[in-house]
Copies of this chain bind each other. A is one copy, B any other.
């Protein structure tokens, strides 16, 4: 038999409510003194309390215990039962340009903060090149004392550092720049964001070896893909924290992440993190490449495009519950999501379950790292009524994630409007039937 919901409900009424429509204090669940309220809060959680005989039945030997299992393997893969957990591919030109587009991290199926390499989002302008690491070369030239050429084997001997950080396409959440909210899974709206541990060589080391001319104030970084993807980066940022990344989550880069090497520009627009890097040129000013003029500029209401919005804005999104998942009846849920800021470190995430009328502060999972995804969590008891879940992040520089309305006002809208830097608050509307929709508030 199911546990007595009524009895749990009674205890729940004692639980700390911290905001409207059922948001609960995480302390009530996690402190020793409050532990008994967990079962109470469970309400609609559905552990089955069973008799001794039912327990004995549960102890009956499952099929997996009756036959030897599969052997060890050289490189593991996800369970066949999880094969639906894939990146969502969008090819705007279809088979005319099958390598132009994106694949998006399925945020609604993931937990924690690290993205597995196989599910890190992709954004390619003309596909993933196949590059032989034995022949690939990196040229450092331009305003330097000596031109330098590095092979991969050269670079593997240099002093390295590791940086765990997010990478976000500046076009992430572009569907939310549309006049009407689109209905699709959370990961298809917001999944051009991932977080991993990168290891490589501080670019400062290589530039010091080349010797930067005092006139040099920018670099041009160019990829060896057939789009010739290239971006300009101010030298101050390059010397501060940019890496020539060779490893991701411990192993060498995947092809779609720039194998054998990419630029890592922590916190800044994803496409500045040039993949398949084969050339760094030190320059006096920005090079004004096609990738920073015809694209990756922000069209404003007056028709003028703002150039060089480098850092990705402070942002958060609730991934559980979110579109692409379904509610399983009233009762307890953990509201959980990701927050990040290209300006620094997340200081606070607030959650609302009543469409923004009241807010409560969520718990942040340690370690909270600068320019890395942060997992936030807050307990919630859903009473089964129409509810609007929202999250709002604040970073340590005082930046506050804007409402959808405030965000949209900054930019030109409409079919040819601005697609970039959408960091507006996401609202998920939960219907009494347990469906979850994208709405603008």
Contact = CB atoms under 8 A, between A and B. Distances in A.
Contacts of A48: 148-150, 154
A45 interface: yes
Contact of A89 (B64, B73, B116): B73
Contact of A38 (B112, B122, B208, B250): B208
Nearest to A139: B58
A225 B82 contact: no
A77 interface: yes
Contacts of A68: 97-99, 126-127, 226
A194 to B, nearest CB: 9
Interface string A109-144: 111111111111010101111111101110101000
A135 B78 CA distance: 18
Contacts of A202: 30
A247 interface: yes
Interface in A241-262: 246-247, 249-257, 259-260
- Assembly stoichiometry (copies): 2
B122 A72 contact: yes
Contacts of A119: 75-76, 250-251
Given A38-B209, A65-B129, A139-B58, A197 B114 contact: yes
A209 B41 CA distance: 10
Contact of A69 (B58, B120, B226): B226
B117 A116 contact: yes
A334 B139 CA distance: 22
Contact of A259 (B81, B161, B196): B81
A30 to B, nearest CB: 8
B49 A71 contact: no
A69 B113 contact: no
Given A74-B103, A102-B72, A49 B148 contact: yes
A162 interface: yes
26 contacts: A30-B202, A36-B208, A39-B208, A45-B154, A47-B154, A50-B146, A50-B149, A52-B147, A58-B139, A62-B224, A65-B224, A65-B226, A69-B126, A71-B91, A71-B99, A72-B89, A72-B124, A73-B103, A78-B254, A85-B252, A118-B251, A157-B331, A157-B332, A157-B333, A157-B334, A162-B365
